[in-house]
Every structure is written in structure tokens, then in C-alpha cells.
């Protein structure tokens, strides 16, 4: 069941407050810009209900979180990357890579 239609407020690209990069090509990244991904049906239970409502949907990766907004890796430090996916209705969601599958 698609619960997105029941949400009061949609979340679009302009609503992102995190430091993100929209153009990257780092060899260690699980996903690259413009790749199509499917949100897993068994999305992590600690994610918000809004993000869980996208389970099973397909969208396009357009941004990824970074520590400084300028590069994917900051020296040798490791970071948790959230990939931002835009869906056909214009809504976006930031997902941990483990919740996405490349199609």
C-alpha cells in the first residue's frame, strides 16, 4: 500500500538541510547520480514512517550526504552515507544504502 498520498506535507529537494553532493564519481560509492534504485520492502524499522512508506518504490539517486558538502570521502575518516532518491511524484527521501537496491 502506498501511504505517500496520506502524508500531509511532501518533502522535496528544496527541503534538504544536510550537506549533500550532487555530482560524484568515487569508486567506493554504492550508488552514483542518476542510477535507478528500488527501496527495499524490508526497510530498517528505525527509519521514519514516511521513509518506510516508500518501500518497494523505484526512484533516481540524485544526491548523497557528505561531511563537508564538497567530497565523498574526507581523508581516511569513514562516514555513513545517505543517498537521496527522487520519486516520480517529486518527493525525495534520504536512505541508508542498505535500504536500497540498484536496478
pLDDT tens for 1-37 read 444 443 446 787 888 887 888 888 877 788 999 999 9
Is 6 inside a domain boundary?
Answer: no
77: CATH: 2.30.30
Within 8 A by CB and 6+ apart from 17, the residues are: none
* Mean pLDDT for the stretch of residues 54-65: 95
Percentage of the chain exceeding pLDDT 70: 78
Would you tell me how many other CB atoms lie within 10 Å of the CB of residue 77?
7
Whole-number Å distance between alpha carbons of 75 and 33: 22
Q: Are 82 and 66 in contact (CB under 8 A)?
A: no
Q: Is residue 48 part of a domain?
A: yes
Is 90 inside any structural domain?
yes
- How far is Cα 15 from Cα 69, in angstroms, rounded to an integer? 16
Tell me how many domains the chain contains.
1
Domain range spanning residue 42?
16-102
Report yes or no: 83 and 64 within 8 Å, Cβ to Cβ.
yes
Instruction: Please provide the average confidence, as pLDDT, over all residues in the chain.
Output: 83
Amino acid at each position: 500500500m502506498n501511504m505517500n498520498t496520506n502524508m500531509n506535507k511532501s518533502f522535496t529537494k528544496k527541503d534538504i538541510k544536510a550537506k549533500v553532493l550532487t555530482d560524484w564519481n568515487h569508486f567506493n560509492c554504492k550508488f552514483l547520480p542518476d542510477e535507478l534504485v528500488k527501496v527495499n520492502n524490508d526497510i530498517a524499522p528505525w527509519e521514519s514512517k514516511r521513509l518506510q512508506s516508500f518501500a518497494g518504490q523505484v526512484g533516481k539517486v540524485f544526491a548523497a550526504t557528505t561531511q563537508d558538502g564538497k567530497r565523498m570521502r574526507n581523508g581516511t575518516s569513514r562516514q555513513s552515507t545517505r543517498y537521496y532518491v527522487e520519486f516520480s511524484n517529486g518527493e525525495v527521501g534520504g536512505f541508508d544504502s542498505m535500504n536500497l537496491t540498484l536496478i
